[in-house]
């Protein structure tokens, strides 16, 4: 682990299946990045919310639902949000903070996701 205590910077690396994790500790928030199969994820955790996102630029939000479904999307610009449910289905659609979107996934289920002070998704 290396870092600058004065700036609160902490960096760590995990060599499991080639994954690398690094983070910047800010009071009340956590930032981490994951490298997995060439996919890089980084963001700040919003206290009290089940959401990891870059609060400074609003570029990326990563959320995990109780049943293990994952939500990955771009928040501030209202760009793409991808939902991956427990079956591995993926749904893409536009999203803006506070908006609710619905989409059909590959199995014909209705997937509803909302991004507002935390990310959530439900299959109906």
Query: What local confidence, expressed as pLDDT, does residue 67 receive?
Result: 43
What is the pTM for the complete model shown?
Answer: 0.15
- Reported confidence tier of residue 14, pLDDT bands at 50, 70, 90: very low
Interacting residues of 31 by C-beta distance below 8 A, sequence separation 6+: 23, 24, 25, 42, 43, 44, 45
Say yes or no: 82 and 122 in one domain: yes
Q: What is the pLDDT of residues 46-104, one digit of tens each?
A: 333 334 433 333 344 444 443 444 445 433 333 344 444 444 444 444 433 343 444 43
Query: What local confidence, expressed as pLDDT, does residue 47 receive?
Result: 38
Say yes or no: 65 and 123 in one domain: yes
CB atoms within 10 A of CB 83: 27
Say yes or no: 94 and 68 in one domain: yes
Query: What local confidence, expressed as pLDDT, does residue 45 receive?
Result: 39
Domain containing residue 19: 1-45
Q: Are 100 and 121 in contact (CB under 8 A)?
A: no
């Amino acid at each position: 682990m290396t870092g600058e205590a004065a700036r609160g910077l902490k960096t760590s690396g995990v060599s499991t299946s080639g994954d690398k994790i690094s983070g910047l500790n800010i009071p009340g928030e956590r930032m981490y990045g994951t490298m997995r199969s060439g996919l890089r994820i980084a963001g700040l955790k919003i206290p009290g919310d089940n959401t990891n996102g870059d609060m400074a630029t609003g570029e990326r939000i990563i959320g995990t639902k109780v049943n293990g479904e994952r939500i990955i999307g771009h928040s501030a610009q209202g760009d793409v949000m991808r939902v991956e449910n427990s079956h591995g289905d993926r749904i893409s659609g536009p999203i803006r903070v506070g908006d609710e979107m619905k989409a059909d996934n590959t199995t014909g289920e209705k997937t509803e996701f909302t991004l507002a002070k935390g990310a959530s998704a439900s299959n109906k």
